[in-house]
């Protein structure tokens, strides 16, 4: 297939591009390189030294003989460029990662809230709008988030996207209907992914677009089989308070002797997936498009759930790191249970990589190897969800 990877320079986009290129597909990365600009804005860099996208694709070609094409286009800002590119290339499938993906970054200030909403909602809408206008019947696979559900199971497992409900009619009969699981975002970033869901629902219904939405959990790890092939193909690895996700942060903190930064009691339970499984899930989703005219296909892209305090204790036990129990900068439930249905990917052949010591050690090794690149002052998470939280965190004890 000819596949366009929107946001193919990012943390999941890059290994996905390599994985699909390796599987024989013709890959076109479309990216505005915003993630690299945000690094500059925040004054942080990936733990792993990352080459330019042009250099990365050159190394991939030298290593494998396969070409990955790169096009500098901003989905949210350059509608006409995007439309021209789609008209010329007419890809068979489009994978959409081209969104600002960090919850803390989205909550930093009013400007960051606006940027996240404008960027994410416009990118998604521009893409669908252009597809309809060009009569492009490409399968769109979007990277969504488990965060659209909120994180409480109220005693029942979270289904894959749709909730069966019975509605009582005026005549007392019960009519059954599948509705989108009630959206319950916990940040401006997660809110944009909830808005995406509505946009998808409309375009699938109105224009028969074929759309798959992947509700992904927190990704951990850094290498995939393909990024391992050459040191210049290495994936990015974020450890800072805005973009670093919790498990990868704990692993780098352990490697540099920084107390593990648990927010609150650490009673939050979240869904997780290893980066290798993430790219495999995208491949599986691409191979199983919904029929034209059917509703949006939704998968829960996660393999296990863990409590944050449990993860911290596990890593402390493995490495001897200390744990720091910090005031929580986020407005979120101090504790929750989480049970998630994920049978659809398992039935289609996903073999989950679960959190094992060996794999955790592998990430600690990456962290140790590049520890000299860490700026310890960028480790704390300082983005507060509300003014009150900001005031209470910054108050001297």
Please list the active-site residues. Answer: 145, 189, 193
Q: Is 261 in the site for ligand USQ (CB under 6 A)?
A: yes
Which of 25, 83, 125, 270 binds ligand USQ (CB under 6 A)? It is: 270
- The DSSP bridge pattern shows strands 162-168 and 211-216 to be unpaired
Q: Cβ 332 to ligand USQ, closest distance in Å?
A: 5
**Binding window for ligand USQ (CB under 6 A); candidates: 47-55, 57-65, 86-94, 95-103:** 95-103
Which of 102, 136, 158, 363 binds ligand USQ (CB under 6 A)? It is: 102
Give the Cα separation of 71 and 96 in Å (integer). Answer: 14
Q: Is 306 in the site for ligand USQ (CB under 6 A)?
A: no
Q: Is 271 in the site for ligand USQ (CB under 6 A)?
A: yes
Positive/negative CA dihedral, 325, 329, 330, 334: positive
Which of 245, 300, 301, 342 binds ligand USQ (CB under 6 A)? It is: 245
Q: How many residues bind ligand USQ (CB under 6 A)?
A: 22
Which of 138, 252, 308, 340 binds ligand USQ (CB under 6 A)? It is: 308
Q: Are 42 and 242 in contact (CB under 8 A)?
A: yes
57 vs 120, which CB is nearer to ligand USQ? Answer: 120
Which of 47, 233, 262, 282 binds ligand USQ (CB under 6 A)? It is: 262
Q: How far is CA 315 from CA 247, 274, 278, 357, in A?
A: 9, 16, 22, 9
Which of 28, 101, 210, 280 binds ligand USQ (CB under 6 A)? It is: 101
- Beta-bridge partners for 271: 305
What is the footprint of ligand USQ within residues 199-228 (CB under 6 A)?
Answer: 217-218
Task: Tell me, residue by residue from 147 to 186, as one string, x for binding to ligand USQ by CB under 6 A and - for no binding.
Answer: x---------------------------------------
Q: Cβ 286 to ligand USQ, closest distance in Å?
A: 20
Q: Is 252 in the site for ligand USQ (CB under 6 A)?
A: no
**Residue numbers of the site for ligand USQ (CB under 6 A)?**
101-103, 145-147, 217-218, 245-246, 249, 261-263, 268, 270-271, 308, 328, 330, 332, 381
């Amino acid at each position: 297939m000819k596949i366009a990877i929107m946001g193919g320079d990012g943390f999941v986009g890059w290994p996905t591009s390599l994985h699909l290129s390796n599987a024989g597909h013709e890959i076109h990365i479309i990216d505005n390189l915003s993630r690299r600009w945000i690094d500059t804005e925040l004054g942080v860099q990936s733990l792993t030294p990352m080459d330019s996208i042009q250099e990365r694709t050159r190394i991939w070609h030298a290593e494998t003989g396969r070409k990955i094409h790169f096009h500098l286009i901003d989905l949210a800002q350059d509608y006409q460029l995007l439309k021209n590119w789609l008209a010329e290339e007419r890809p068979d499938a489009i994978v959409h990662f081209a969104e600002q993906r960090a919850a803390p970054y989205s909550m930093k200030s009013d400007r960051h809230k606006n940027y996240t909403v404008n960027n994410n909602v416009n990118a998604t809408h521009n893409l669908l709008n252009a597809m309809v206008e060009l009569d492009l019947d490409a399968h769109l696979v979007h990277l969504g988030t488990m965060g659209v559900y909120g994180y409480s199971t109220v005693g029942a497992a979270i289904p894959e996207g749709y909730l069966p409900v019975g509605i009582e009619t005026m005549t007392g009969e019960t009519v059954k209907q599948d509705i989108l699981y009630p959206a319950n975002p916990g940040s401006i970033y997660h809110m944009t992914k909830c808005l995406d869901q509505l946009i998808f629902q409309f375009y699938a219904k109105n224009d028969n677009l074929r759309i798959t939405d992947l509700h992904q959990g927190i990704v951990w790890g850094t290498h995939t089989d393909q990024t391992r092939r050459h040191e210049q193909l290495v994936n990015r690895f974020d450890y800072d308070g805005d973009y670093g996700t919790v498990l990868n942060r704990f692993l780098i903190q352990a490697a540099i002797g920084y107390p593990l930064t648990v927010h609150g009691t650490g009673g939050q339970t979240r869904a997780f997936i290893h980066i290798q499984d993430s790219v495999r899930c995208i491949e599986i989703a691409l191979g199983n498009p919904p029929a034209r005219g059917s509703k949006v296909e939704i998968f829960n892209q996660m393999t296990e759930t863990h409590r944050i305090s449990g993860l911290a204790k596990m890593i402390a036990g493995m490495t001897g790191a200390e744990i720091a129990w910090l005031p929580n900068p986020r407005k979120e439930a101090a504790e929750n249970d989480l049970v998630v249905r994920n049978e659809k990917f398992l039935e289609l052949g996903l073999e989950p990589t679960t959190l094992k010591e060996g794999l955790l050690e592998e990430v600690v090794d990456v962290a140790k190897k590049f520890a000299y690149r860490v700026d310890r002052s960028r480790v704390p998470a300082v983005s507060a969800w509300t003014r009150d939280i900001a005031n209470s965190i910054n108050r001297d004890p």
